[in-house]
Amino acid sequence: MKFGGTSVGSPERMRALIPLIDDEERKIVVLSAMSGTTNSLVEIAGNLYSGNIDTAFGKIEELKAKYHNVVNDLYTFDGTRQIGNDIINSHFSYISGFTQGIFTKVQEKAILGQGEILSTTLFHLLLQERNIRSVLIPALSFMRIDKYGEPDIFYIEENLQRELASHKDENIIITQGYICRNAYGETDNLKRGGSDYSASLIGAAINSSEIQIWTDINGFHNNDPRYVDNTHPIRNLSFDEAAELAYFGAKILHPSTINPARERNIPVRLKNTMDPEDPGTLITGECVLMDYKAVAAKDGISVIRIRSDRMLMAYGFLRKVFEIFEAYRTPIDMITTSEISVSLTIDNSEYLPQIVKDLKELGSVDIEEQQSILCIVGDFRTERTGSAPEIFEALNTIPLKMISYGGSPHSLSLLIDTKDKISALKLLNKHLFNQ
C-alpha cells in the first residue's frame, strides 16, 4: 500500500490512514514525503548548489517550522510531541550541515531523501502512540539501483526478504518510497514521483497479492484532470494500457510503475484516500476493448530529423542511427521514416549536442524542442477498419508533427508542439468522450 504526498500531507491525513492499514492482513506501507516537501528540498539543494547559502538557510528554517507545527498537531501526548520535535531538530540540523563545505550531486540526493525519512518516522511514531504494532524498515537497507540507474531486482528481493524474515510477527511494515542506494552505496532516488515505482518493486519482490497506490483522486481518469474539466475514472485497465499512459505522461503513476507488476502478474489498484469506498481503478492482465479509453500527454520531448541520400535503398542505415543513441544511453520514444529521412523523438536531451554531432556524420540534422507526445489508448488493432478518424477530426486545427500507428494494438501516438497540448487534450475530451 503506497500513500502519496497528499495522503500524508497533513496531520489530519496521516491520522486518516490508520483505519486503512490497521487490519489483520500483513502489508508493507510505502510512504511518500508530505506534499510540497520534496519541492522545497529541491529548492534548498538548488540554492546550495549555486552557493546561495542564506536563501537555502531561510528555506530550511521555513520547512523546519512547518514540521514542528505538524508534530504539535499530530500527536496527543506531550511525551510523543517531545520525541517528534527531537526527530525534527536532528533531521534539520543534518540538512543545515550541508550549508557548510562542498555540495555535489551526492549531498543533493541525501537532502532530497529527507522528506520520505521524515514522513515515515513521524507516522511510525503516531502508530506507536496509538499502541498499534508496526515496524519501520529503512528503504536504504534493501532498495538499490545499478550503475545504469535500473533497479537491482536480485539485490532488492534478497535484502527485503531478509528484513521481513527478521520481523515475522509484524503485520504493518512501514518503509520509504522514492529513496534507494545506488551502485556506489550512496543515497539516491527513483526520480520524481518514484514512490509508486518503489511500491511496485516491493510488491513484485515479495510476490504480493496486490499493489495498491493510494492517492488524491478516484483512480485513473480518461484525460488529464489538471488541464481538462469533466474527466472520469476508468474502472479497469490492462497492464499494457496503463503502462503506456503512465509512460506517456499520466502523472498519477510514475512511468515505470507497471513493469514490475506486469512481470509478476500482480494486480495494481489505484484508490483515493479521501474517498476510500470508491472502487478506483484496477489494473490487471485483462483488456476490455473500447474504441477510446484514455489520453495522456508527455512534455519535454525533442524531435530529431535526419535526412540523407545514403538512406535511399540502403540497409544498415537505421542501425547506424540507433547505435549513436545507444552509445549515449538515450531511449527513443517515437520514430517515423520516409524514403530518405527519419524522424525520432527523445525525452532525455542530456546528450543531445553529442548525439547531433555524431548524427551529422550520417546526413543533415534538424532539431525541434518543446514538443509533446499525445498518447491515445483504445482499440487500435491493425485488423480493424475505421478506427481513429475522430482523432484527426478532433485535432484538425492542431499541427501534427509525427504519427505513430501500428506499433501497438492499443495505442496511437502523435507529436505536437507543447504550446498546443492543452487545446489538444480538451478537443480530444470533447470529440472522443463527448465531454
As measured in angstroms, the least distance from the Cβ of 28 to ligand ADP is 17
Q: Does 114 bind ligand ASP (CB under 6 A)?
A: no
Which range of residues in 44-52, 190-198, 280-288, 381-389 is near ligand ASP by CB under 6 A? Answer: 190-198
- Grid cell digits, residue 82: 517531545
First-last CA distance in the chain: 33
Distance between CA 301 and CA 219 in Å, rounded? 26
C-beta of residue 400 within 8 angstroms of C-beta of residue 415: yes
**Among the listed residues 22, 193, 209, the one whose alpha carbon sits nearest the alpha carbon of residue 123:** 22
Distance between CA 295 and CA 421 in Å, rounded? 11
Distance between CA 144 and CA 180 in Å, rounded? 5
Q: Does 329 bind ligand ASP (CB under 6 A)?
A: no
Interhelix angle 11-21/53-74, rounded to 10 degrees, is 50
Choose from ligand ASP, Mg ion, ligand ADP, none: what does 194 bind? Cβ within 5-8 Å by kind. ligand ASP
- Name the residue whose CB lies closest to Mg ion: 193
Q: Which residue in 11, 84, 177, 249 binds ligand ASP (CB under 6 A)? A: 177
Distance between CA 366 and CA 418 in Å, rounded? 18
Distance between CA 164 and CA 157 in Å, rounded? 10
As measured in angstroms, the least distance from the Cβ of 268 to ligand ADP is 13
Integer angstrom CA distances of residue 408 from 224, 379, 382, 404:
22, 10, 9, 9
Nearer to ligand ADP, 299 or 366 (CB): 299
Choose from ligand ASP, Mg ion, ligand ADP, none: what does 6 bind? Cβ within 5-8 Å by kind. ligand ADP
Q: How many residues does the chain have?
A: 435
As measured in angstroms, the least distance from the Cβ of 187 to ligand ADP is 20
Q: Which residue in 193, 194, 363, 378 binds ligand ADP (CB under 6 A)? A: 193
Q: How far is CA 290 from the centre of its chain?
A: 26
C-beta of residue 216 within 8 angstroms of C-beta of residue 6: yes
Distance between CA 199 and CA 178 in Å, rounded? 9
Q: Does 162 bind ligand ADP (CB under 6 A)?
A: no
User: How many residues lie near ligand ADP (CB under 6 A)?
Assistant: 18
Q: Does 32 bind ligand ASP (CB under 6 A)?
A: yes
C-beta of residue 126 within 8 angstroms of C-beta of residue 14: yes
Nearer to ligand ADP, 252 or 402 (CB): 252
Integer angstrom CA distances of residue 37 from 59, 94, 112, 189, 301:
11, 16, 9, 15, 27
User: How many residues lie near ligand ASP (CB under 6 A)?
Assistant: 12
Which range of residues in 9-17, 30-38, 124-132, 402-410 is near ligand ASP by CB under 6 A? Answer: 30-38
Q: Which residue in 105, 133, 162, 192 binds ligand ASP (CB under 6 A)? A: 192
Distance between CA 386 and CA 350 in Å, rounded? 40
Nearer to Mg ion, 5 or 151 (CB): 5
Amino acid at 340: I
Q: How far is CA 332 from the centre of its chain?
A: 19
Q: Does 193 bind ligand ASP (CB under 6 A)?
A: yes
Choose from Mg ion, ligand ADP, ligand ASP, none: what does 216 bind? Cβ within 5-8 Å by kind. ligand ADP
**How many CA atoms are closer than 13 Å to the CA of 204, on its beta-carbon side?**
23
Nearer to ligand ASP, 190 or 324 (CB): 190
Cell 524498515 belongs to 137
Q: Which residue in 1, 30, 33, 324 binds ligand ASP (CB under 6 A)? A: 33
Q: Where are the alpha helices (DSSP H) in 99-152?
A: 105-112, 114-129
Q: Which residue in 1, 3, 5, 140 binds ligand ASP (CB under 6 A)? A: 5
Q: Does 115 bind Mg ion (CB under 5 A)?
A: no
Q: Does 151 bind ligand ASP (CB under 6 A)?
A: no
Q: Where are the alpha helices (DSSP H) in 300-388?
A: 317-327, 352-359
Q: Does 250 bind ligand ADP (CB under 6 A)?
A: yes
As measured in angstroms, the least distance from the Cβ of 188 to ligand ASP is 13
Find the binding residues for ligand ADP in span 208-237 (CB under 6 A): 215-217, 220-221, 224-226
Nearer to Mg ion, 123 or 214 (CB): 214
As measured in angstroms, the least distance from the Cβ of 267 to ligand ADP is 18
Choose from Mg ion, ligand ASP, ligand ADP, none: what does 178 bind? Cβ within 5-8 Å by kind. ligand ASP
Which range of residues in 31-39, 46-54, 161-169, 312-320 is near ligand ASP by CB under 6 A? Answer: 31-39
Find the binding residues for Mg ion in span 187-206 (CB under 5 A): 193
**How many CA atoms are closer than 13 Å to the CA of 157, on its beta-carbon side?**
9
Q: Which residues bind ligand ASP (CB under 6 A)?
A: 4-5, 32-33, 38, 115, 177-178, 192-195
